[in-house]
Structure 1
Amino acid sequence: MDSIENTINAIAEKCPLATTPEEIVPSLLAHFNSMDVDVMLDFYEQDAVLVDAQGVPQRGREQIRKELLKYYSVQLPMHIIARHIFVAGDTASLVLDWNIAGQAPDGTPVHMVATSNDISKKGPDGFWRYIIDNPFGTQVRSLY
């Protein structure tokens, strides 16, 4: 049991959740760049939504897990420049320029660049987690 607790504590130290809006982006980067989908899932509220590249909301942890695995398949880190973070009470709106670039394990060049439009909420435990992750949030997409 101590081994499991030590592992959990080590992950929490490496990938702490944000306690202030200013810490959300560094926390996001630490979680994503851990290259561990289970670590990344801790960054989301239980009923969160991740909008896929086609504009379809993926709801809940299992659907989010499947979507995240697509990003992790290239095994490259994400880089972010925060364009805007606006806060109202326990809710933050984030507009982030992000990219994942390099060479995938199979040798394929990767160049994903987008601007996200995300929403984070401070939970009762005092930590900020994503409730809406819209990585391609400024792209025009039509579902209808």
Structure 2
Amino acid sequence: MRHPVITDPAQLPKAFEEALNAGDVDAVLALFAPGAAMRTVTGERVTGAEALRAEIGGTVAARGRLTNVQRHTLVGAGTALLVTDWTLEVDTPDGERITPTGTTANIARQDADGHWRFTVLNPLGTA
């Protein structure tokens, strides 16, 4: 399956939302640059393709439903800071449906081919 090419970094949060809500782990992972890192909502640091796949796959398995609202995009020198408000509905292991919210401080970079990809995802923002 071909994944969308992101040529504007402000499109990344919406592309992440759409791919996650569709349950398409591969499409979510296509938005990450090689070597990307992610901080989970529990504060754990996740790096590497396998760990990222496990984290995203776990969210999909928990019937994750994400809503992103882009607040700011600041671009300079082929790098972008993306500040996004989010709400994520998920099922807990005991079957309870919870809805954590927060504000991200994510970083993306532009590849030589002009595509933008996440390099650091931090859903806890400055917390």
* Band the TM-score falls in, shorter-chain normalisation: 0.7 to 0.9
- After superposition, the C-alpha distances for 1:19-73 in whole angstroms (9 at most, x for unaligned) are 0123222222222222121221111011000112343321111111122223222
Report if the CA contact (8 A) 1:49-1:59 is conserved: yes
Stretches of structure 2 that go unaligned for 5 or more consecutive residues are: none
Which ranges of structure 1 fall in alignment gaps of 5 or more residues? 1-7, 140-144
TM-score, normalisation: structure 1: 0.76
**Which structure: larger Rg?**
1
Is 1:116 paired with 2:99?
A: no
**Residue correspondences, number:** 127
TM-align CA RMSD:
2.2
Distance between the aligned counterparts of 2:71 and 2:34, measured in 1? Answer: 26
CA contact (8 A) 2:12 2:31 kept: no
- What's the TM-score, normalizing by structure 2? 0.85
Q: Which has the higher contact order (CA 8 A, sep 6+)?
A: 2
Q: Which residue pairs with 1:17 in the alignment?
A: 5
Higher helix share: 1
- Counterparts of 2:71 and 2:117, CA distance in 1: 19
> Deviation per CA, 1:89-124, whole angstroms, max 9, x where unpaired?
2110011110113767x8522212111110011111
Aligned counterparts, 1:1-144, within 5 A = 8-9=1-2, 12=3, 16-101=4-89, 107-139=95-127
